[in-house]
């Protein structure tokens, strides 16, 4: 419960004490109204059941006053909680906007961790993000982009990266154990020296001739069963269609390859 965890110990004690008092008063009033004989032995009940002295037309039982007092306390707590929730929500929204602004303007984000922040619409394109930690992070369908990002030695274990734009990203040394990369854009991505073989899925991932795989990966079962979206290029000079699923290290980037 975010609202409870954000309170101090004193605020928690104050809230619980008032809530317990209000509920106790309402409970006593309800028991007294329902079965007066049951509480007649209580000293407090005998005092509360005495009518208020004064004008005969205002002979209000203290049971009613007790119930009203308890209800008033609980109502006050409800109003206080509502105001606090609104204030907290506004503060959280402002903090989130400030965080996103600082991330968007930073060129270097070494060791980046999203923590509890939302990444909707975040554009990390071109940023230096070595040693970033996206373990178990939901990246799919929220508009996040990593075009030409430097993500070397980063962690994506357990991340949901379906359909994410990694065009031209550098992943050398990164971990992808149980990462879902289905439909991700891996064109021109450097995946050499990574644990891409441990990815949960590469089905439908978009690749091209410049996609760089670890040595031996294209001969693996994972690669053969991936159903990658191949790169096709029509050469007008000889009217041929060239097809590529990327290259393995160390052939990646060699002239004429």
Alpha-carbon span 203 to 95, nearest angstrom: 37
State the virtual CA torsion across 218, 224, 226, 230 in degrees, nearest 10: 70
Answer whether residue 56 shows pLDDT above 50.
no
Token look-up 């619980």 returns 16
Other residues' Cβ atoms within 10 Å of the Cβ of residue 61: 16
Which one has a higher pLDDT value, 68 or 207?
A: 207
pLDDT at 255: 39
Stretch 29-57: mean pLDDT: 52
Q: Between residues 32 and 171, which one has the greater pLDDT? A: 171
- Of the two residues 46 and 93, the one the predictor is more confident about is 93
229-238: average pLDDT: 72
Reference 63, options 49, 47, 44, 46; nearest CA is 49
More reliable by pLDDT, 8 or 106: 106
Per-residue pLDDT, 57? 39
CA distance 256 to 247: 12
For residue 60, the model assigns a pLDDT of: 44
pTM over cut 0.85: no
**pLDDT exceeds 70 at position 216:** yes
């Amino acid at each position: 419960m975010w609202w409870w965890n954000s309170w101090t110990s004193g605020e928690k004690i104050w809230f619980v004490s008032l809530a317990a008092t209000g509920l106790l008063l309402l409970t006593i009033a309800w028991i007294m109204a329902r079965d007066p004989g049951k509480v007649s032995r209580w000293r407090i009940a005998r005092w509360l059941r005495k009518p208020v002295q004064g004008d005969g037309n205002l002979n209000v039982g203290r049971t009613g006053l007790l119930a009203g007092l308890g209800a008033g306390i609980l109502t006050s707590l409800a109003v206080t909680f509502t105001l606090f929730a609104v204030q907290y929500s506004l503060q959280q929204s402002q903090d989130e906007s400030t965080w996103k602004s600082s991330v968007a303007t930073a060129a270097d984000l070494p060791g980046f961790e999203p923590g509890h922040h939302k990444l909707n619409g975040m554009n990390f394109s071109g940023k230096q993000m070595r040693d970033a930690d996206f373990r178990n992070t939901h990246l799919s369908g929220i508009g996040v982009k990593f075009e030409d990002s430097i993500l070397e030695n980063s962690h994506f274990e357990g991340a949901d990266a379906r359909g994410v734009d990694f065009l031209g990203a550098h992943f050398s040394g990164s971990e992808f154990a149980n990462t879902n990369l289905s439909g991700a854009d891996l064109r021109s991505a450097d995946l050499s020296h990574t644990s891409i073989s441990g990815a949960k899925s590469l089905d439908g991932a978009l690749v091209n001739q410049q996609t760089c795989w670890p040595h031996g990966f294209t001969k693996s079962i994972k690669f053969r069963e991936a159903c990658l979206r191949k790169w096709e290029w029509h050469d007008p000079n000889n009217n041929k269609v060239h097809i590529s699923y990327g290259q393995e290290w160390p052939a990646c980037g060699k002239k004429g390859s």
